[in-house]
């Protein structure tokens, strides 16, 4: 478990798993949708489909999953904390109003545990007094609110022994169900569950006899039906597939360079995917991209280990060093202050700060012979910065 010692989220998570198992659901029958916050750490704990949402928005994602599947033999489980529940309260009420077939489990520790223990909209007045909070507004009763909005089943459970039975009942109920579980935060509340019991709201349970909400199906044209694809203009020498990792810093053109490599791969007759990652700060820190080039269709876009790594800066190297396998062919820009035995090349010296990634890609293409760097030149020929990009690509000759 990734939670702090004694955190109540652990037993809540186990109880969800036990309830699903006892109801006979298989791992592929369940979609777990999580939120941001401590409750959002559950993603890797379930051997099911999983989606990680934005803070408070996980119920909205759950609605989309449930309506899209529209199968009573499958189950959508949404997990969020009390902070997420109050930040995205309207999403809960909308799911309840439409009685969408899904179960929302709220881990209520009455505070924002991941950001320092601030009070939430579900913090009781007694708990706020204990925490000496200046918030004098009465808390929401999310169980009562969801019931009033039209949920088929809503319940608050405070005692650990009742978690699994209550969850089984909720999950087995057709339509929208919400279960609020009392969860102790040992870091910002108190250390004992017995002490915590003095501050929580009494248990309650409500039922509504309503039909399950469905989305009427209609025939529409695929969104990409009229989109023009990229024609094969170049040959390639690839056997099988290859995963390319490009790692640099924000502002270094890593994402656009990776996208151009993926497009060039298509022009060379290959299947290709591109996936980028960078911090929320966007303008600072690392920027990495994964490109897969393959003779066959690509069904999973992630790279567990890369075949090729082009490292432009220290920021990028720190982020991806664990993805470098012994067989990975690695080239590092010689201006990056990285102590290693990897081959160093003057990508930024040749292509400049913003052109280093493209220079590195063109260099690798020329060295490997997977396909010609001319495919890259073709991709950028109509770009508004075509001249600069072409110069960066051709700079590989100077590396």
**Alpha carbons 59 and 99: distance in angstroms, whole number:** 12
**Alpha carbons 213 and 70: distance in angstroms, whole number:** 10
Partner residues linked to 306 by β-bridges: 324
Strand 153-157 and strand 204-207: the pairing is antiparallel
User: If you ran DSSP here, which 8-state letter would residue 334 be given?
Assistant: T
Q: What is the pLDDT of residue 223?
A: 82
Q: Are 85 and 179 in contact (CB under 8 A)?
A: no
pLDDT tens digits along 114-163: 889 999 999 999 999 999 999 889 999 999 999 999 999 999 999 999 99
**Alpha carbons 120 and 104: distance in angstroms, whole number:** 18
Over range 334-349, report the average pLDDT: 91
DSSP string, 88-119: THHHHHHHHHHTBSEEEEEEE-SEETTTTSEE
Q: Are 51 and 34 in contact (CB under 8 A)?
A: yes
**Alpha carbons 308 and 364: distance in angstroms, whole number:** 9
Q: What is the pLDDT of residue 193?
A: 85
Q: What is the pLDDT of residue 218?
A: 81
Q: What is the pLDDT of residue 282?
A: 66
Residue 301 φ/ψ, nearest 5 degrees = -90, -5
User: If you ran DSSP here, which 8-state letter would residue 283 be given?
Assistant: S
Instruction: Give yes or no for residue 212 having a pLDDT over 90.
Output: yes
Domains present along the chain, CATH in parentheses = 9-207 (3.40.50.970), 241-398 (3.40.920.10)
pLDDT tens digits along 241-265: 999 999 999 999 999 999 999 999 9
* DSSP H helices in the chain: 9-22, 58-69, 82-87, 89-98, 125-130, 142-149, 163-172, 193-196, 254-267, 314-320, 347-351, 356-368, 374-380, 386-394
Q: What is the pLDDT of residue 242?
A: 97
Cut 0.75: pTM above it: no
Residue 281 pLDDT class (50, 70, 90 cuts): confident
**Alpha carbons 4 and 187: distance in angstroms, whole number:** 7
Instruction: Give yes or no for residue 280 having a pLDDT over 80.
Output: no
- Residues contacting residue 14 through CB under 8 Å, at least 6 positions apart: none
If we measure between CA atoms, which residue out of 318, 322, 245 comes closest to residue 286?
A: 318
Long-range contacts of residues 280-283, Cβ cutoff 8 Å, at least 24 apart: 281/250, 282/250, 283/250, 283/251
Q: How far is CA 398 from CA 22, 295, 346, 347, 391, in A?
A: 65, 31, 8, 9, 11
pLDDT tens digits along 89-107: 999 999 999 999 999 999 9
Q: How far is CA 174 from CA 26, 336, 337, in A?
A: 18, 58, 59
């Amino acid at each position: 478990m990734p939670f702090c010692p004694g955190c109540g989220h652990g037993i809540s998570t186990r109880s969800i798993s036990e309830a699903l198992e006892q109801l006979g659901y298989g791992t592929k029958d369940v979609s777990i949708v999580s939120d941001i916050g401590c409750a959002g750490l559950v993603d890797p704990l379930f051997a099911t489909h999983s989606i990680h949402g934005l803070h408070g928005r996980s119920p909205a994602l759950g609605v989309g999953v449930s309506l899209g599947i529209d199968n009573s033999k499958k189950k959508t489980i949404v997990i969020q904390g009390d902070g997420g529940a109050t930040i995205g309260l309207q999403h809960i009420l909308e799911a309840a109003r439409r009685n969408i077939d899904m179960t929302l489990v709220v881990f209520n520790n009455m505070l924002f545990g991941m950001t320092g223990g601030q009070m939430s909209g579900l913090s009781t007045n007694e708990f706020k007094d204990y925490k000496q909070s200046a918030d004098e507004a009465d808390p929401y009763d999310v169980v009562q609110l969801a019931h009033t909005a039209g949920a088929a089943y809503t319940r608050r459970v405070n005692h650990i022994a009742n978690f699994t039975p209550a969850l089984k009942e909720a999950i087995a109920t057709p339509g929208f169900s919400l279960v609020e579980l009392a969860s102790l935060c040992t870091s910002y509340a108190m250390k004992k569950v017995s002490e915590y019991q003095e501050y929580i709201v009494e248990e309650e349970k409500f039922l509504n006899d309503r039909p399950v909400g469905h989305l009427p199906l209609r025939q529409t044209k695929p969104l990409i039906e009229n989109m023009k694809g990229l024609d094969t203009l170049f040959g390639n020498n690839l056997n099988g597939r290859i995963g390319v990792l490009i790692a640099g810093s924000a502002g270094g053109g890593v994402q656009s360079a990776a996208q151009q490599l993926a497009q060039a791969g298509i022009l060379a007759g290959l299947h290709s995917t591109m996936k980028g990652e960078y911090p929320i700060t966007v303008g600072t820190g690392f920027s990495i991209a994964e490109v897969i080039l393959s003779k066959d269709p690509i069904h999973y876009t992630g790279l567990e280990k890369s075949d090729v790594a082009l490292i432009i800066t220290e920021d990028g190297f720190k982020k991806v060093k664990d993805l470098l396998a012994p067989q990975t062919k690695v080239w590092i820009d010689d201006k990056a202050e990285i102590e290693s035995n990897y081959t160093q090349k003057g990508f930024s010296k040749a292509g400049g700060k913003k052109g280093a990634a493209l220079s590195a890609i063109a260099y690798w293409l020329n060295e490997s012979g997977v396909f010609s760097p001319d495919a890259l030149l073709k991709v950028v020929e109509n770009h508004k910065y075509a001249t600069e990009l072409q110069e960066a690509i051709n700079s590989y000759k100077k590396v």
